[in-house]
Amino acid sequence: MSRIKRFFRTYKPFTRAGMQEMVAYRANFICHLIGEILSAFIMYFVWKAVFLSSDSETFMGFTMEDMVVFLFITFLTGYMTYSDGSFAVGEEIIEGSIAMRMIRPCSFEMSFLFHELGDRIVSVAMIFVPMVAGVEIYRYAVSGEVRFQIGCFLLYIVSLFLAYMISFYFNVCYGFMAFFFKNLWGTTLIKETLVSFLSGAIIPLAFLPSGLAAVLNILPFASLSYTPVMIYMGMYSTSQILWSFGLQIFWLIVMFGLTKLIWRSAVKHLAIQGG
C-alpha cells in the first residue's frame, strides 16, 4: 500500500505541472483545437450532401445521425488519446539529454505519462464534457429521444483509457526512431496519416472491403480509435465488446513490452556509444 502511495507521491508534481501548462497555454490550445475541429465540420457538410444526394436513409449501414456521432466522437477520441511521447523522446535523443534519464530516480516514461495525464484532466473539463454534451444534444434534437446510454458511455471511458495507454507506448516506441532520423517531421506526418487511416478515423472500417476491414480490426490501430467509438455508438454487442477489450489489453501489453525492450537496447547503445 505504502509503495503505491509513494509511487503517486513521486509523480504527482508531474501531473500538476501538466495541468498548469494546459491552463497557461489555454489560448493557444483553444485556437489549435478550433483549427483541428474544422475538418470534422467539413466532413459533416460533406455527409449532409451525400445523404441529400442519396435515395437511401443509410449509407453502408450508417444513418446521418450515426455519421455525426462518428465524426465528432472520433475527433474527441483522437484528441484524448493523442500522445506527445514521440516528440518528447525524439527531442531528448537529438539534444542528447536522454542519457540523463538513466541517472534520475524516477522512470522516464512514467514522469512523462503523468505529465500528460495532467493535461488530460484539464481537457476533460474543457473539451470532453462539452463535446459529449454537444453530440448528445444534437442526437436529441434530431431524433426527439434521449439516445445517451450510460452503459455504453462508461464502457467507452474504459476503452478510451486503454486506447490512450496503447497510443502512449506506441508513440514512445516511435520516438526512438530519432536515433535514425535527424528530423522527425516527415516520418511523423506519415505515421499520423497512416495511423488515422488504419485506426478507422478517416474512413469507418465498415466502409472498407470486408477482408481489409477484418485485418485492420485486429491490428493495434483499430484499438486506438475505431473500437472506443463503436462502443460509444452502441454498435458492438456484448461479446464484441469483451473481445475488443481483450484485444486492447493484448496490444497494450505488446506495446509496453516493446518499449521496455527498445529502452533496454537504447541504454546499451548509450553505454557503448556514449550519448
Give contact residues for other proteins (rule: CB under 8 A): 16, 19-20, 23-24, 26-29, 31-32, 34-36, 38-39, 41-42, 45-46, 48-50, 52-54, 59-60, 181-183, 185-190, 193-194, 196-197, 202-203, 207-208
The runs of H, that is alpha helices, within the chain are 2-24, 26-53, 64-81, 85-95, 108-123, 129-143, 150-175, 185-198, 210-218, 226-233, 238-273
Q: Is the Cβ of residue 121 or residue 267 nearer to other proteins in the bound state?
A: 121
On whether the CB atoms of residues 164 and 83 are closer than 8 A, the answer is: yes
Residue 234 Cα to chain centre, angstroms = 19
Q: How far is the CB of 86 from other proteins (least distance, A)?
A: 14
Q: How far is the CB of 250 from other proteins (least distance, A)?
A: 27
Q: How far is the CB of 40 from other proteins (least distance, A)?
A: 11
Q: Is the Cβ of residue 180 or residue 237 nearer to other proteins in the bound state?
A: 180
Residues 6+ apart with CB under 8 A from 30: 126
Q: How far is the CB of 50 from other proteins (least distance, A)?
A: 6
Q: Is the Cβ of residue 190 or residue 218 nearer to other proteins in the bound state?
A: 190
Q: Is the Cβ of residue 155 or residue 173 nearer to other proteins in the bound state?
A: 173
Distance CA 199, CA 227 (A): 9
For residue 62, count other CB atoms closer than 10 A to its CB.
19
Q: How far is the CB of 42 from other proteins (least distance, A)?
A: 5
Q: Is the Cβ of residue 8 or residue 257 nearer to other proteins in the bound state?
A: 8
Residues 6+ apart with CB under 8 A from 85: 109, 112, 116, 168, 169, 171, 172, 174, 175
